[in-house]
Structure 1
Amino acid sequence: MSHSIIHTEQAPAAIGPYSQAVRAGDTVYFSGQIPLDPATGALVDGDIATQTRRVFDNLAAVAQAAGGSLAQIVRVGIYVTDLANFAAVNAVMAEYFQQPYPARSTIEVAGLPKGAQVEVDAVMVLG
């Protein structure tokens, strides 16, 4: 099966040796997004809600570049540096997704690139 690389200027460029997303057949695998401003590449200032909104805006831009939308995401992986932010992340996610919600895991980690508080990766199925 062939695959194609997904890239958009509407989401931050990769900060390492990876692609924003890869499409294989009708499945799109998103790399983790942290709350970087696509225009500057800088981490956005603000609380966990502000950072989480930026992350989902970045994911939405990549989904659109792949020919889809957040509504077609079937799995989300959320990584936070403090599980005390679980409720705030849930509240923001509810602004971007409606039922039926994608499958999800939420994992506390010791640290994230550039000092981010949250990172999200995803899988989307088109068609």
Structure 2
Amino acid sequence: MGDIQRIFPKDTPTPRGPYSPAIRAGDFIFVSGQGPVDPATDTMSYGDIQHETRITLNNVKRILEAAGVAMTDVVKCSVFLRDGKDFAAMNEIYREFFGEQRPTRTTVAVAFADPTMKVEIDCIAYKPV
């Protein structure tokens, strides 16, 4: 396995803690959990679940692209929802980003440290170097 590369892309949200937005480890790219942070202002952009999911997945997409991969390279996603009742509405937006690609996924309802936030998504992509 090759070197571990920590990825801090421009035009993406600043990490809210001591972590890397993404790490390439060999052929895998691990993207840290992303939330509805507007990259232009680097502040949270709260709204309904579809609004927050779209912003979150656009952040994931930007980070993946900075790592040299695409949404089609994603093999696993974890979706965290503040309210499990938001599943269907979140899924509509999720489908826009992944279409028939359909990576594996786990979706759970959680309590966030930020009680206003509705969604967080992380993923793992695979692309041989």
Instruction: Give the alignment's TM-score, normalised by structure 2.
Output: 0.93
Counterpart check, 1:27 vs 2:65: no
Stretch deviating more after TM superposition (66-75 or 41-50): 41-50
Structure 2 counterparts to residues 70-85 of structure 1, below 5 A: 70-85=71-86
Counterpart check, 1:7 vs 2:29: no
- Retained in 2: the 8 A contact 1:5–1:22? yes
Identity among equivalent positions (%) equals 35
| Matched residue, 2:65 | 64
- Retained in 1: the 8 A contact 2:81–2:119? yes
Q: C-alpha distance in 1, partners of 2:46/2:78?
A: 22
Gaps of 5+ in 2: none
Deviations 1:29-71 (A, max 9, x none): 0100010011222111321100000000000000000001111
Q: CA deviation at 1:13?
A: 1.1
- Retained in 2: the 8 A contact 1:36–1:54? yes
Gaps of 5+ in 1: none
Counterpart check, 1:107 vs 2:108: yes
Q: C-alpha distance in 1, partners of 2:58/2:113?
A: 18
Deviations 1:81-100 (A, max 9, x none): 00000001110001000223
RMSD (CA atoms): 1.2
Corresponding residue SS for 1:115: coil
- Retained in 2: the 8 A contact 1:79–1:120? yes
Corresponding residue SS for 2:44: coil
- Retained in 2: the 8 A contact 1:5–1:23? yes
Residues 5 and 114 (structure 1), Cα distance of their counterparts in 2 relative to 1, 3 Å cut? farther
